[in-house]
Structure 1
Amino acid sequence: MERRRAVVVTGFGPFGEHNVNASWVAVQELEKLGLGDSVDLYVYEMPVEYQTVQQLIPALWEKHRPQLVVHVGVSGTATAVTLEKCGRNEGYKGLDNCRFCPGSQCCVDGGPESIDSIIDMDAVCRRLSSLGLDVSVTISQDAGRYLCDFAYYTSLYQSRGRAAFVHVPPLGRPYSAHQLGHALRAVIEAMLADLEPPGDTGSGCHER
């Protein structure tokens, strides 16, 4: 009998010009689709607040003991679904929805400068390219030093790298909620496959 796996996926709430945050819309679409009978999917909307994120992420890891946590955020400059390779600890100067930023400008005092995901994002990207999705997928090593990066690093630190971050473009620029939801499901299925090697080889992705 196939063992059940827990996967937690988060999206962000509104902030700035993003009155409707494409990341949470995409996560809600994913929730409708599910990840198959062997995966227990838990979704959460996170507010764009440093202190709340700092408390919520460890609580999610503690509550669900997931095999994988995937955080999803919107990027106003993205035109593809973007897989982030690492999270950064320092340089958080942007104010959140509460007009707050960490006094130390870092996620974890004394933590490493950056933490890489244990997921091979290049292999995941190649796998997705072979599927012929109607959504472009690329990879990045800079999640932006705002709440997205902050959440990612916090989760990577909590899990020793068993986390992922996916940036999506704003809705309609160019993808619909339906397309983003289906792309997110394919991304997470590929990540779960990567956590259970062997991975595959090939080409078709580039770093931005």
Structure 2
Amino acid sequence: MDNSKRTVVVTGFGPFGEHKVNASWVAVQELKKLGLGNEVDLHVHEVPVEYQKVQSLVPSLWKQYHPQLVVHVGVSGMATTVTLEKCGKNHGYEGLDISGFSPDSQCCIVGGPDCIDSGIDMELVCKRVTTSGLGVTVSVSKDAGRYLCDFTYYTSLYLSHGRSAFIHVPPLGKPYSGEDLGRALKAIIQEMLDLLDQAEEKIHCQQHFH
């Protein structure tokens, strides 16, 4: 086992529309207080709800930190559970961002695949967290909503070959507090790291046999 610290980057979004305080960034700040244990170097970043900022920021996070995992967190006014998103979509970005911009191509990466799945088994993460008695309901979704959340997720999945995750949280108090959401993020990300470790060990074992 490699004892060097693993790096995880977690992002939340800034304010937009009626979300004057974005629950995702509050949740990420609560996660930062809790930390992910001594073995994990956790970096958090607030992402502005702007397509062009995402296009420059996401690659720079990968370049700067070489993280093992990047987790993006966003708020969804429709969500009532903490929702694990399975995939990012490339097309259909018509909604204007906070600076009134949307991509001419209406897509994330021109010529990229229509949809990219996370390399992390979200159903399994959901199952594990649900049985851990967290007190926060977790569910899985296949549609991150074709706005900045989905755009960020796809961009990150494209750059990381699937080593990204996206988590939607409900607005604060509907029903969870920022602290609840921070605890949920911690539990979820620890399970994700666990699964990544297991996948890597499997690959190493297979290499020994060839």
Task: Return the TM-score normalized by structure 1.
Answer: 0.94
Q: CA deviation at 1:197?
A: 1.6
2:123 equivalent in structure 1: 122
Partners of 1:49 and 1:130 in 2: how far apart? 37
Q: CA deviation at 1:47?
A: 0.3
Q: How does 1:52-131 map to 2 (within 5 A)?
A: 52-131=53-132
Q: Distance in 1 between matches of 2:170 and 2:191?
A: 20
- Per the alignment, residue 204 of structure 2 pairs with none
Show the counterpart of 1:156: 157
CA deviation after TM superposition for structure 1 residue 23, in Å:
0.1
Q: Secondary structure at the match of 2:131?
A: helix
* Equivalent residue pairs, number: 198
Distance 1:33 1:113 in 2: 36
Distance between the aligned counterparts of 1:98 and 1:181, measured in 2? Answer: 29
Partner of 1:17, secondary structure, is coil
Q: Which amino acid aligns with 2:153?
A: Y
Instruction: Specify the alignment match of 2:196 in structure 1.
Output: 195
Measured in 1, the distance between the counterparts of 2:175 and 2:69 equals 28
1:162 Cα deviation from its structure 2 partner: 0.4
AA at the equivalent of 2:64: K
1:3 aligns with 4
Distance in 1 (CA, whole Å) between partners of 2:83 and 2:127 is 13
Runs of 4+ aligned residues of structure 1 deviating over 4 Å after TM superposition are none
Check if 1:28 corresponds to 2:29: yes
Q: Superposed, which structure 2 residues align to 1:6-21 within 5 Å?
A: 6-21=7-22
Which residue identity does 2:83 align to in structure 1? T
CA RMSD of aligned residues (A): 0.8
Q: Return the offset for 1:2.
A: 2.7
Aligned to 1:41: 42
Structure 2 partner of 1:204: none
Q: Map 1:174-189 to 2 at 5 A.
A: 174-189=175-190
User: CA–CA distance in 1 between the matches of 2:95 and 2:41?
Assistant: 35
**Structure 1 unmatched runs, 5+:** 199-208
| Paired amino acid for 1:158 | L
Encode CA deviations 1:155-187: one digit per residue, 9 max, x unaligned.
000000100000000000000011000000001
Q: Displacement of 1:3 after TM fit?
A: 2.6
Unpaired segments of 5 or more residues in structure 2? 200-210
Percent identity, aligned pairs only, is: 67
Matched residue type, 1:97: I
Alpha-carbon deviations, 1:23-80, whole Å to 9, x = none? 0000000000000000000000000000000100000000000000000000000000
Structure 2 counterpart SS, 1:131: coil
Higher helix share: 2
After TM superposition, the score normalised by the length of structure 2 is 0.93
Q: Specify the code of the residue in structure 1 equivalent to 2:125.
A: V
Cα distance in 2 for partners of 1:13, 1:129 equals 28
